[in-house]
Structure formats: C-alpha cells, structure tokens
Amino acid sequence: MPRNNYFKFLSLSLGNLRKLLTVNLLLFVPVVLLLFTLYRLLPALVHYVDTLNVSVSDVAPGQGKLALVFVWGGDENGPWKEDTLYVFRKRDFNSLRKHIFMSRYSGLSLRLLEERSLARGRITGFKEAIPLYSKSGDLLLTVEVKGMREGSIEFFFYGRWQPLPKRMVVLYPVLAALSFVLLGGAFGGITDYTQRVVFHEMKGFPFLLLSIRRNFLRSVAVSFFMLIVLGAVAANIYFYIFMLSTDVSVFIAALNFWMLVFFLIALLWAYPLMILNRNESLFKVVKKSLYISFDNLEYTGSTLFLLLAMGGLSLCTLSLFPGVAGGFSFLNNALKDLSARYTKPDTT
C-alpha cells in the first residue's frame, strides 16, 4: 500500500537527508525564479484573456473586487427576455451563483439578483460603452462588451490590477522559460540519482551532475510534453468555468477536470521509467507509464494523492523539504515496490 511505502520513504529519507537537501539546494534558485515569474505572469495572462471580451473603465473609487455577470437572453417565454449585465460584490458572488442560473426559470431568483446587485443594465450592442449606475444614481463603472455567446451566462471578475512594467513584459517570460528548462532538464538526472538512493547504491554529488547532463534533453522533452498536455487541459477548465454556457459548458468543464486527473495518473511514472528504460523511445515510456498506472489504478491514485500533498508542503518551504528530490525519491520507492508485482517468482 502507498501509505506503507510512505513510511519506508520517510525512513529512507532520514538516512539520506543530507543528499536530498543538497539536491533541493541546487534547485533552489530556478524553483524560486519559476514560482515568482509565474506569480507575476499568470494574473497578467488571465487579465489579457478576460479583456478580449470585456473592458471596464471609469470605476468609482473604493469599489474593491467586483463580479460582472452577463446574462444573454432570447427566451421570450421566461424571465430571460433581454441581454442584461449585473454587478455584484465579489464576496457575494458565490452565495448568488445558483440564483444566477435559476434566474432563467425562476422569477424569484431574478428578483433576488436585482435586489442584491450593485447595478444592472441592458446590453444594447457590442463595442458600445454601457454606463452602469448604482441604486443611488451615482456612476459605478462603464463597461464595453466586445463579443459574447448567445444563450449563455458569462462571468468577469474585476479588480484593480497593476500592469507589468514594460521592461518586464519580455524579461519575465524569458526567465520563466529558462527556469522551466533548467528544472525540466534536471528532473531526469535527479530521478536517476534518487533511484540509486532507493536501491542503496552509494553515489556522490559528481554522479548527480553527470546524470543530469546525460539525461538533460530527454528530460526536457518529457517535461515539455507534460506541460503542453496538462496546461491545455487546465486552460480549458478555466475557460469553461468562467465563461459558462447554460447548456453544455458545466459538463465540458467537469469532463476536462477528469481529463486532467487522467493525465496526471497516466504520466505519473514517466520520469522513473525514462531512467529505467534508457534505450526506449519517449513514446514507449509514456505508453508503459499509462499501462502501469491503469493496471494498478488504486495504488497509482493513492501515490498521486500523497505526492500532491508533498507538493503542497514543498510550496510552503520553497521546495527545500521534501522538495523535488523528496518527491522523486518517494516516486521511485513506490515504483520499486510496485515492480515486485511484475517479477516472476523463482521456482527453481
């Protein structure tokens, strides 16, 4: 069971704590650099995607974070007869979410939205400035809608956002890409090094550097493949959650979430298998990882859960403990125990 493997991993880690900390210290700068650049770039990217459809200007001071809800009409027999824009305080949004969807069928929900909203107004056309006034008659904000989908409910969250300095618009992506390549390229060598620790082979620091150099290109290729696959699915989840159609988008978002889980499980053993099968193509490595994962689904799922928990702890310690080395050490230890299921007993 993965829980027993976790205790084995802890015992092994305590005996090799200096080696694991040395690896984590080696990666400290690229890990912190990647986390910092993502912290600055992701909000800018989300803001850019959001403003493709909506622009907000002339916001009254002191408003804080706001939630803008676009309800696209077309239902002549129900409450949704007009294209309407509601403005709520963001802290009130979650409690009103179900009423936003129920407003298509329930006049009571529609009246609740009207009562709780800071402002509301009709959307008369695209690319037209729409002034929204509070219930006291003061201008709350001005919105320009550039394009939406008919028959849907869509959300836009507004907050005072500080744009990136011009000199950082290029520098941050370059630093993020550089730190990703350094980390992704090092994962293969670290997997090799921690495998030797798991199998109680005495290898020094020079072996780690040699292994990183030997596996660098293959490791970057695996890391880039995982980034593309998992990033695309995560982007789909964000898109369908925050730009929701009343008919199919919730289902699509849920489907994409399970696709994300599927790929996390399917690719879990990719790095250890890449080291164990040096002469095989990356396609065969990924295929073998997929087979092992779903041939041992409960075991793999439990291992993934514990690995994600370790990842959360690593974020709190800036990857110093258990960190990248601890994560790969745990993964190699789990694969070592799992491989016993595929070893034929000696009957001689």
pLDDT tens, residue by residue, 249-264? 777 888 889 999 999 9
What are the residue ranges in the chain where pLDDT is below 70?
1-6, 73-82, 147-151, 160-162, 242-248, 344-348
- Asked whether residue 141 falls in the same domain as residue 79, the answer is yes
Output the pLDDT for position 129.
84
- Asked whether residue 88 falls in the same domain as residue 11, the answer is no
End-of-domain residue from the set 97, 118, 147: 147
**Helix H or strand E segment including 155:** strand 153-158
- Asked whether residue 241 falls in the same domain as residue 180, the answer is yes
Domain count within the chain:
2
Name the β-bridge partners of 120.
Answer: 86
Q: Is residue 326 part of a domain?
A: yes
CB of 67 within 8 A of CB of 132? Answer: no
Q: Is residue 179 part of a domain?
A: yes
- Asked whether residue 39 falls in the same domain as residue 173, the answer is yes
Output the pLDDT for position 346.
52
- Asked whether residue 231 falls in the same domain as residue 98, the answer is no
- Asked whether residue 196 falls in the same domain as residue 134, the answer is no
Q: Is residue 159 part of a domain?
A: no
End-of-domain residue from the set 115, 147, 179: 147
List, for residues 205-219, the tens digit of each pLDDT value. Answer: 899 999 999 999 999
- Asked whether residue 30 falls in the same domain as residue 69, the answer is no
The per-residue DSSP string of 12-60 comes to HHHHTHHHHHHHHHHTHHHHHHHHHHHHHHHHHHHHHHHTTTEEEE-PP
- Asked whether residue 37 falls in the same domain as residue 79, the answer is no
Single-letter amino acid code for the residue at 329: S
Residues 6+ apart with CB under 8 A from 79: 103, 104, 105, 106, 107, 110
CB of 187 within 8 A of CB of 324? Answer: yes
Q: Is residue 153 part of a domain?
A: no
Name the β-bridge partners of 84.
Answer: 71, 122
CB of 243 within 8 A of CB of 151? Answer: no
- Asked whether residue 249 falls in the same domain as residue 174, the answer is yes
Q: Is residue 338 part of a domain?
A: yes
List, for residues 163-185, the tens digit of each pLDDT value. Answer: 777 788 899 999 999 999 999 99
Q: Is residue 348 part of a domain?
A: no
- Supply the range of the domain harboring residue 129: 54-147
- Asked whether residue 317 falls in the same domain as residue 198, the answer is yes
- Asked whether residue 141 falls in the same domain as residue 229, the answer is no
- Asked whether residue 267 falls in the same domain as residue 291, the answer is yes
Give the C-alpha separation, 120 to 114, whole Å: 7
Q: Is residue 160 part of a domain?
A: no
